[in-house]
């Protein structure tokens, strides 16, 4: 009985040193016409709450595959992912979606906004899915923080790439996620706009105390994170 209570206590403990993300022997294989291709091989690592970690590797090394698995957007061939102590792939599809909604934010290279929704509606969406109150006011406040107070009613096609990525950042942070996954968030932007997005990303991350897992092929961007995990040909290589 005491042991049970103690283990629950440990799970509830969100001290800064506890792992918020844990990948264990994470492997992804895909079928090609003549053989099974292993695009991620036995990745094992953990990310502690509050850390900023870069996943660095050349194009095709498996970065997006790994990030998609960590965020529960895709399922592995074998291995496991724990987010906040919960095993993502032992949950039902609904359970996984719920955990994702509560704990995870995601920013993509290609923005991935809903084209038929305004900036404000895009940012409100995750709050509405989670059933929280005050979605409109909270979404507006975050859009103001990313400098888009004058663009609330714009549709994605009416916004520049940099503005669209600001909306995507607002959407990712509005639920106050424990972990933010960002997949080459500046990959579709020119250098100056990309730098502004990076500054904003790190600022939002610092201000909200979010754990950051950032995928990039840019050494200099990776160096801004506290730790770098290197991927090469689907394998994590130790520095
Ligand atoms: P990165 O993000 O580092 O550029 P990806 O994770 O997108 O790399 O892809 C890693 C490798 O796996 C690439 O060679 C890519 O072509 C391949 N790949 C990714 N997804 C699939 C898939 N669904 N089917 C076949 N090959 C894939
Ligand atoms: Mg990629």
Q: What is the mean pLDDT of residues 177-203?
A: 95
Give the number of the atom of ligand 1 that is nearest the alpha carbon of residue 65.
6
Distance 109 CA to ligand 2 centre (A): 8
* Tokens describing residue 85: 């102590």
- List the alpha helices (DSSP H) in 59-184: 63-70, 93-103, 119-130, 135-145, 161-173
Helix (H) or strand (E) holding 231: strand 227-232
Q: Over range 114-135, report the average pLDDT.
A: 93
More confident residue, 42 or 131: 42
61 ligand 1 Cβ < 6 A = yes
Mean pLDDT of the chain: 91
Percent of all residues in the chain with a pLDDT value above 90, rounded to a whole number:
88
Question: Residue 90 pLDDT more than 90?
Answer: yes
pLDDT at 224: 94
Residue 61 CA, closest ligand 1 atom number = 3
Sheet holding 227-232, edge to edge: 104-107, 179-183, 211-216, 52-56, 227-232, 235-237
The CB of 156 under 6 Å from ligand 1? The reply is no
Q: Which ligand is nearest to the CA of 61?
A: 1
Asked if residue 62 has its Cβ within 6 Å of ligand 1, the reply is yes
Q: How confident is the model at residue 239 (pLDDT cuts 50, 70, 90)?
A: low
Confidence at 76, pLDDT banded by 50, 70, 90: very high
* Neighbouring residues of the ion ligand 2, judged by CB less than 5 Å: 63-64
Minimal-distance CA residue to ligand 1 atom 12: 39
Among 60, 71, 76, 229, name the best residue to mutate to test ligand 1's pocket (greatest count of ligand atoms within 8 A of Cβ): 60
What pTM does this model have?
0.90
């Amino acid at each position: 009985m005491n042991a049970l209570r103690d283990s629950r206590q440990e799970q509830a403990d969100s001290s800064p040193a506890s792992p918020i993300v844990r990948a264990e022997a994470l492997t992804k294989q895909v079928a090609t016409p003549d053989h099974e291709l292993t695009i991620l091989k036995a990745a094992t690592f953990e990310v502690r709450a509050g850390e900023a970690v870069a996943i660095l590797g050349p194009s095709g090394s498996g970065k997006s595959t790994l990030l998609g698995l960590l965020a529960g957007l895709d399922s592995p061939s074998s291995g496991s992912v724990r987010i906040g102590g919960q095993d993502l792939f032992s949950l039902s599809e609904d359970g996984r979606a719920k955990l994702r909604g509560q704990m995870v934010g995601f920013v993509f290279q290609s923005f991935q906004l809903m084209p038929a929704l305004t900036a404000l509606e895009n940012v409100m969406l995750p709050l509405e899915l989670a059933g929280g109150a005050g979605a409109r006011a909270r979404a507006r406040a975050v859009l103001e923080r990313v400098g888009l107070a004058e663009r609330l009613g714009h549709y994605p096609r009416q916004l520049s790439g940099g503005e669209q990525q600001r909306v995507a950042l607002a959407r990712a942070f509005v639920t106050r996620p424990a972990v933010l996954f960002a997949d080459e968030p500046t990959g579709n932007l020119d250098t100056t706009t990309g730098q502004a997005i990076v500054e904003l990303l790190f600022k939002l991350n610092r201000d909200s105390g979010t754990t950051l897992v950032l995928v990039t092929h840019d050494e200099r961007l990776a160096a801004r994170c506290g730790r770098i995990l290197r991927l090469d040909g689907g394998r994590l290589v130790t520095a």
